[in-house]
Homo-oligomer: A and B are copies of this chain.
Amino acid sequence: MVADRGAGPQVPLSRERVLRAAVGVADAGGIESLTMRNLAVALGVEAMSLYHHVANKEAILDGVVDVIMSEIDEAVQRTEAPPAEDDWKTALRMRILAAREVLLRHPWAPGVFETRTTTSLAVVRYLDAVVGLLRAGGFSYDLVHHALHALGSRALGFTQELFEPDSNGGGDGAATEMLEQLAGEFPYLVEMMSEIAHDDPDSTLGWCDDQVEFEFGLDLILDGLEGLRTG
């Protein structure tokens, strides 16, 4: 993320370098820190120099998606999944979880994916591979199509949760007290949380393992699709 500070025009600027630096800036300071001026200083250059290699900021965000997608492609490549002909479910599951691992390293990336209006060719390529995988698994094109919609962003390893990734693992007394106050207004949620915390004494309030929950939802969909495929 520090990039070649002071390196100046030693290594000439390029679209490639700009995009990689953009990913680095977002990784280090979050997506709101990715401004043209910020990106320029990370590259040891003036903000206006960027415009010689990318059309504008939108183009940078488009390019950033491509960088992340190529990282996902590499991760998928390293995966030792069974051929889809033998076990489409495991093959797809491993692909999606590999993609998810990459996105967990770039937590700001899903938000950027969502803002892109024209879908990146790299994403289309990824989905084409998913379609091929499902076809090899014996799906009709009609069911493949439904499957893509049912998976939505889950095909790339992320979902939109309605609660933030509540890293309130502390389970301190203040939170518990607040919970009791809230019990009047949200009786079911509070009871649910207390019962789950009781079942799993290790996690007092940090009762949401995102990975476990992601896989639960994913398997629910994959199992449902398998039922429709064979049914």
| A-to-B contact residues, CB < 8 Å | 111, 113-115, 117-119, 121, 123-125, 127-129, 131-132, 135, 141-142, 144-146, 148-153, 155-156, 158-164, 185-189, 191-192, 195-196, 199, 207-208, 213-214, 216-217, 220-221, 223-225, 228
The distance from the CB of A164 to the nearest CB of chain B, in whole angstroms, is 6
Task: Determine the chain B residues whose CB is within 8 A of the CB of A146 once the complex forms.
Answer: 213, 216-217
**How many copies altogether?**
2
User: What is the CA–CA distance of A216 and B142 in the complex, to the nearest angstrom?
Assistant: 12
Q: Which among B114, B123, B223 is the interface contact of A114 at CB below 8 angstroms?
A: B114
Task: Determine the chain B residues whose CB is within 8 A of the CB of A192 once the complex forms.
Answer: 131, 141, 144-145
User: What is the CA–CA distance of A213 and B148 in the complex, to the nearest angstrom?
Assistant: 9
User: What is the CA–CA distance of A217 and B221 in the complex, to the nearest angstrom?
Assistant: 8
Q: Who on chain B is nearest to A195 by CB?
A: B141
- Give the secondary structure class of A's interface: helix
CB of B216 within 8 A of CB of A141, answer no
Interface-centre pick from A141, A164, A196, A223 (highest chain B CB count, 10 A): A141
- Contacts A113-B162, A128-B187 aside, 11 further interface pairs with beta carbons under 8 A come to A111-B114, A125-B186, A128-B185, A132-B188, A135-B188, A142-B196, A149-B161, A150-B213, A152-B162, A152-B217, A220-B225
CB of B127 within 8 A of CB of A189, answer yes
CB of B160 within 8 A of CB of A153, answer yes
User: What is the CA–CA distance of A186 and B146 in the complex, to the nearest angstrom?
Assistant: 18
The distance from the CB of A228 to the nearest CB of chain B, in whole angstroms, is 8
CB of B186 within 8 A of CB of A128, answer yes
CB of A160 within 8 A of CB of B164, answer no
